[in-house]
């Protein structure tokens, strides 16, 4: 940075050291905040006009130039230089180059402290809608598969041991439901984040921008910050945003773990589409679930972003400290990770096929109908504690004689316990077991279909919310 470009230095007699300049310069990724900084600048110059610091004619010129800068930045026509310490320095330099010295009037009544907080908040409020739409896409992919498998039985697990049969659609929607809660967390976060820090200046508020609540509405916020010190010194909005991103990736990671198992030769539940898996450089037969493995790994990294920012903030005095520059690195990394991982995983889920014959065979393996036997006995008036023992004894008998339930004769049933009459066979079918779990939230196909219908309505509501944002939306650059 040089004395001609940096936004500070009037009281310094000498130039900055090269070491300081290198260490102090923003990470190159932070310049992605330019559209949001320009959005805040438009609101700020309107504030300066309301205060009488710039004329109506100057306001028009400022707005026109800021609009031009937005278009030029999006098109790659302007780029930061090595001497630009940060996005604010970069844009003010270009603004003055185009407007002359009067462009420097824009700095009155604001600070990089409130600009930085504002830029990040605008970025997060934009990206929360982009990410929400991508999470909806994954949930819809799960819903699409669930719809095809409302009657496909699979073994449900506890402790990774076959427990009771469920329909595969129910298992898939068990991964969609956490994603729906993540979406609601994003929406709930946005309600608290719809507060503008602009107008807080360095920490005490502005002597020129005296109507920050108006500037807030100009930018798409609901209101402005109640306390100027808090506005520039807090980062709980970024921490909470990172928490929801981290939790979303944790939920995704649990889905990925199951996909990896389902696709294995040991499970043989699903077959991945060739377009969404990779091979081995040495073993020609391999089809690897790389998308699921990569997403599972990245969950840990984004969790690290959250913990890192919390650690950076935990002991900071008020108001602004340069430690807070870590916020952008953490948030941008989380956003970019989700923006890449979610579409890939959605494609993987949408295109895999289910080995229905195999999962049906496995659904009753390991005596998964044992609880149905105990429930049947309980309906005959036998205390469940005793019914549980009888059903366990039946499992033990079958295992010791190499039999399954369907192999048992009437005499063999009675030899375990006289109360095991032939009528018990009514519950020893997969269809009966699934239909019996017909309470709200259960795995009976009709209940799962109702769940699917409700889920889709709620996902549509989230999509509607994400499309009705009044603030700045920045379209991602097309891939070259």
Q: Which residues are catalytic?
A: 159, 280
The Cα–Cα gap between 217 and 39 comes to 12
Measured in degrees and rounded to the nearest 5, phi and psi for residue 430 equal: -65, -35
Cβ 349 vs Cβ 147: under 8 Å:
no
- Cβ within 8 Å of residue 461, ≥6 positions away: none
- Cβ within 8 Å of residue 164, ≥6 positions away: 155, 156, 368, 369, 371, 433
Pairing of strands 195-196, 223-224: parallel
Using CA atoms, how far residue 60 sits from 66, 92, 104, 157, in Å, is: 10, 17, 15, 65
The Cα–Cα gap between 252 and 299 comes to 8
Largest interatomic CA distance in the chain: 102
Here the tokens at position 127 are 């990206």
- Cβ within 8 Å of residue 112, ≥6 positions away: 7, 86, 88
């Amino acid at each position: 940075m040089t004395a001609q470009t940096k936004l500070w230095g009037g009281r310094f007699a000498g130039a900055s050291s090269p070491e300081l300049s290198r260490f102090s310069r923003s990470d190159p990724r932070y310049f992605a905040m330019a559209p949001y900084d320009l959005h805040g600048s438009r609101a700020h110059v309107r504030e300066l006009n309301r205060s009488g610091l710039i004329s109506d004619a100057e306001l028009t010129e400022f707005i026109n130039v800021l609009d031009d800068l937005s278009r030029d930045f999006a098109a790659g026509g302007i780029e930061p230089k090595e001497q630009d310490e940060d996005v604010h320095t970069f844009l003010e330099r270009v603004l003055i180059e185009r407007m002359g010295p009067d462009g420097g009037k824009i700095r009155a009544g604001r600070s990089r402290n409130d600009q930085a907080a504002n830029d990040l908040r605008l970025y997060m409020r934009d990206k929360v809608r982009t990410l929400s739409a991508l999470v909806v896409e994954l949930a819809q992919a799960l819903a699409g598969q669930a719809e095809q498998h409302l009657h496909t039985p699979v073994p449900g697990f506890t402790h990774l041991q076959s427990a009771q049969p469920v329909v595969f659609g129910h298992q898939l929607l068990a991964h969609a439901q956490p994603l729906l809660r993540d979406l609601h967390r994003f929406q709930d976060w946005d309600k608290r984040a719809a507060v503008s820090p602009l107008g807080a200046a360095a920490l005490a508020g502005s002597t020129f921008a005296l109507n920050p609540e108006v500037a807030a509405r100009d930018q798409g916020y609901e209101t402005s910050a109640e306390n100027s010190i808090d506005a520039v010194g807090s980062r709980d909005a970024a921490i909470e945003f990172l928490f929801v991103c981290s939790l979303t990736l944790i939920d995704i990671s649990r889905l990925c773990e199951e996909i990896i198992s389902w696709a294995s030769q040991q499970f043989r539940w699903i077959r991945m589409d060739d377009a969404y898996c990779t091979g081995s450089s040495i073993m020609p037969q391999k089809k690897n679930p790389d998308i699921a493995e990569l997403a599972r790994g990245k969950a840990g990294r984004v969790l690290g972003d959250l913990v890192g920012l919390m650690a950076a903030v935990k002991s900071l005095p008020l108001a602004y400290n340069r430690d807070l520059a870590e916020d952008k690195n953490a948030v941008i990394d989380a956003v970019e990770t989700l923006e890449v991982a979610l579409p890939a995983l959605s494609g993987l889920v949408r295109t895999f096929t289910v080995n229905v014959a195999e999962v049906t065979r496995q659904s009753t393996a390991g005596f998964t109908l044992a609880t149905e036997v105990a429930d049947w006995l309980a309906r005959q008036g036998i205390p469940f504690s005793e019914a549980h023992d009888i059903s366990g004894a039946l499992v033990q008998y079958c295992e010791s004689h190499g039999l399954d339930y369907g192999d048992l004769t009437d005499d063999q049933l009675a030899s375990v316990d006289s109360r095991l009459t032939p009528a018990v066979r009514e519950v020893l079918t997969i269809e009966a077991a699934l239909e019996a779990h017909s309470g709200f939230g259960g795995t009976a196909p009709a209940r799962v279909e109702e769940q699917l219908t409700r889920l889709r309505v709620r996902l549509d509501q989230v999509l509607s919310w994400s499309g009705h944002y009044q603030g700045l939306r920045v379209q991602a650059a097309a891939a070259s």
